[in-house]
Amino acid sequence: MKKQKWIALLLAGGNGTRLNLLTKSLVKPAVPFGGKYRIIDFALSNCKNSGIETVGILTQYKPYVLHEHLGHYSYWNLSNQHGGLTILPPYQRSNSGVEWYEGTSHAVYQNIEFIEQYNPDYVAVLSADQIYKMNYSLMLEQHIETKADCTIAVVEVPWEEASRFGLININRQTYKIIDFEEKPERPTSNLASMGIYIFTWKRLRDYLLQEEQKEYTNRDFGKDIIPSMLSDGLQLYAYYFDKYWRDVGTVHSYWEANLDLLKGEDNIFLQNPEWPVHTVEHHEPPLFLAKSAKIHHSLISEGCEVYGSIEESVLFNGVKVGKGARIRNSVILPHTTIGENAWIENAVVGSQSLIKNGVIIVSKNPEENLMVVGNNETVDPTIKDFSANNQVISVTS
């Protein structure tokens, strides 16, 4: 194999429990986003646009939809004789059975053989479940200039959300990392790790091997590898990122990130058009708007049929909206049908679901109680009426 200066590994195996009903049947990086994309498309496109030739995707939880999506690797131009895109699920290493990935660092440890065939100087380890555009080559330049052992991309987050993240304290003049706290109850910083790392490979390899020898370990970058490196006095630096970034780890943040596309200043697809986001094209028929349709400030994807009223909403490909239906401040995922005279407001409705005629799914306070319908569900007004229910709902067939 040709030696590579650097390669990337995308962590795409977590089950995404905070996304609730949207990840019952698929892994979080495969969840649709922005009308026609999937969440993993952003990290993959960043790799392609940054000039990374070799990308490994570490998968585990309910990977079928993700694997099918990644099978069309030519859309990211990651098919080449020197590397390309490789799917890396757990596998049976001995007669003892399959060795599942037990944490983020353990997943990388299990793929040391894959990494070493490229003999890289540096390895980028990337979360595959965030919405952002980043030139990783600029981060690599800083990593090399500072002679860092590890560089961590960081972003400022609101203080009220800080406890959801791994937090970093830095020297503000040099950006050298002083301290790292993994999701503390009482944050002392609002500078959050983005889960995007560049490591000097020889150094990371040593720490992966050391971690496997410990009796008690989470086998996790944030809880084990990074604190150990800091404790040993290694050179860790922060790479400050000040562009649009969304961690869509909860249904509410996922809803907000989709609705951000309706704001010109926050629409990630309008920012830096020279840095495109690539995805698999499904070649849906053109959008159809009936005479009865009313559309205001919304994003409507190809393949949709609209006979009702849409306001401040995002409709993914293949959605059908019946006559008299009202949709407001909502996100409707692919190939879902909204029946006639239905009313949906402040909600996320999953893929391939059926909302029958006259159903009401409304939240009066989405900041506290967003309405959620899962994938492949049927909501019948003779069974459920959610108009007075201000809770995150779990709809069953």
Q: Enumerate the known binding-site residues.
A: 101, 166, 182-183, 193
How high is the pLDDT of residue 384?
A: 52
How high is the pLDDT of residue 184?
A: 86
For residue 185, what pLDDT band results from cuts at 50, 70 and 90? Answer: confident
pLDDT of 367 > 60? The answer is yes
- Enumerate domains of the chain plus CATH numbers: 6-262 (3.90.550.10), 288-379 (2.160.10.10)
How high is the pLDDT of residue 79?
A: 66
C-alpha–C-alpha distance, residues 319 and 60, integer Å: 29
How high is the pLDDT of residue 242?
A: 94
How high is the pLDDT of residue 395?
A: 42
Which tokens is 347 given? 């909600």
Average pLDDT, the chain: 90
Q: Enumerate the known binding-site residues for alpha-D-glucose 1-phosphate.
A: 101, 166, 182-183, 193
C-alpha–C-alpha distance, residues 293 and 188, integer Å: 51
pLDDT of 203 > 50? The answer is yes
For residue range 282-310, what is the model confidence (pLDDT) as tens digits?
A: 889 999 999 999 999 999 999 999 999 99
C-alpha–C-alpha distance, residues 182 and 376, integer Å: 36
Instruction: Read off the pLDDT of each residue in 268-279 and give the average, rounded to a whole number.
Output: 90
State if pTM tops 0.95: no
